[in-house]
Structure 1
Amino acid sequence: MTEEDLRRALASIADPAGGGSIVETGRASGIVVRSGTGGFVLDIGGLSAEDAAALKRAAEQAAPGARMITTAEAAGGAHGQTGQAPTQSAAGGGARRQPHEQPAPDLAHLGKIVAVASGKGGVGKSTVAANLAVALAAEGLRVGLLDADIYGPSIPTLLGCPGRASGEQGRIEPVEAHGLKTLSIAHLTKPGKAMIWRGPMAAAAMMQMLADGDWGELEVMLIDMPPGTGDIQLTLAQKVKPAGAVIVSTPQDLALIDAEKAIAMFDKVNVPILGVIENMSTFVCPECGTRSDIFGHGGAEETSRARSVPFLGAVPLTMELRRASDSGRPAVLSDDEAGAALRAAALALKTELES
């Protein structure tokens, strides 16, 4: 089977909601074939339970043996019940459970799982997560990095690995970059596709990548969380039970208010805070080296002190850090001041994990 064969087979199925085939409407995406084994993502969003079940049967018949991942929230069925989408399925795999019925997977092989989180977007959380992961891998640890920011996946760009993940025998093969393994929804879907999913759908996708990824035996798994305190964070706390969380914030009061909320949320679900990182702590002029505290300075350290949680370090905003992020070569691999600060933060996190 080739990718074109699989695409042609799926294109023969009409979208129950209209508008053409499930390939034309984007209901079938992430179509990939590796080593003769196919896989695709099937979105059943907005369909009745009957239409969703019929569509899955049609896809199984059109592409027997292909690995099918169903993600969405089905509308009410014949009895007026509304069901959340199953997290995963394999063609011909029989009955499928809803997310709340799924047992917690055994993730012991992932080592110590650490959520890298923030209360709000725009604080550089993904940049920090990517650099922490690369720095820990450079220390000789077996590291994984999961991009759980389903709506705005940026890890493939930050690590310079925008290709597709391969799949074989019901497993997803993570992409390798800079000495670590990584996986993102961007590795499984068509480039540029917007993830217009409800919270439970996004949470299901995160669990699926964790449980189905062929990660091997890791020592540390970093999870780049979406901003906020929603479904993905709650699912992580209940099903994954991470070793702890790292909170990223700028020193600005507006960001610190939301960082406090993130700390409070993790505290409420019994996830320890391993530390706080102040990103964009100061701006370093690329021309003269002058420092400007454009977002303030020291606020995150004060918050960590007030909350009695470790402060892992302050990362300046430099032109090299921006260039490194855009080019896919993490700043921790350079001699830049921001890279040095991120390496120090990674070592401080490593110490916390060992204590």
Structure 2
Amino acid sequence: MGSTRERIAVDAMGGDHAPKEIVAGAVRAAEELDVQVLLVGQPQQIQSCLEEHGTTRNLEVVPAEEKIAMDEEAMGVRRKPKASINVAMDLVKQERADAVISAGHSGAVMASALLRLGRIKGIDRPAIGAMFPTLLAGKSVIILDVGANVDCRPRYLEQFALMGTVYSQYVLGIETPKVGLLNIGEESSKGNDLALKSYQLLEAHPAIPFVGNAEGRDVLSGEFDVIVCDGFVGNVLLKFAEAIGEVLLQITLEELPQGLRGQLGSAILKPNLRRIKQRIDHAEHGGGLLLGVDGICIISHGSSQAPSIFNAIRLAKDAIGHQVLQRIQSYYGQAAEQTRSSQ
């Protein structure tokens, strides 16, 4: 497309607030992040939203005749080859885009990514990695998997740990990230069969800086940089974390004194409380990176509004710039070559 900017395909029809909020976030990202955004979806609706902003700088509309509704089955992507998420994935497959973002049906996004992009050779299952804040200022922890794989085998968690290590090293800039396994106790003897066998694999892997089990209270402590778990546990953790900000805000407001003092206190504290909520709300980080598929894919929260879409595009830009996909591909390519030479 004659541009050296990162080219990011955005499913404009995916999400509870599509296309208005999706377009608003894309417009801001195109202006502030200097990326080329390809808005995929129904042209008339997208153009109507763009007219509200009065700009098309670094923006392109790519037509898609259909969309996958939030209440449809994930495999609706097979029945609707021209759905916006499929068209967006095809742009990455055809190298017309460097990444794809969608706030649509997460199962459909993952299904489309697997069907259109495929897995990186050597990866059994892709994982959704989500960034969580910690008690240490400016430090985050990446948790994976948070929903792509409900049932896991030990080697899946081993692969999740390796992909999380690569991401932590090259995007977050942590030379030797501390990798933990989410478990019910610190001791290596604790946990179910999956945890026990996964512990052994992680401890023995030369490329994974594994430091041991992480209990639930450790997730937000800042003691770990990467924490791995199966998608069932990870998704429960994610949804719980999403609720914390709203609960904290509501409880604090309820505990303020009644009358004029309470009104004044509420007015003073509200901006600070909302900033706190933003810090601990996963949706404010833009979404989760689907690691393990052969392309950069960000799955945003279904209720994402403009700020979340902006952050998702920034996350995609960072992943592209730090060559996360190529680094994971390179590692597994070298591992496959070593296996062939040893046979």
Shorter-chain TM-score above 0.5: no
Q: Considering Cα pairs closer than 8 Å and 6+ residues apart, tell me whether 1 or 2 has the greater RCO.
A: 2
Q: Give me the TM-score of the superposition, normalised by structure 2.
A: 0.32
> Counting helix residues as a fraction of each chain, which structure ranks higher?
2
TM, length-normalised to structure 1: 0.32
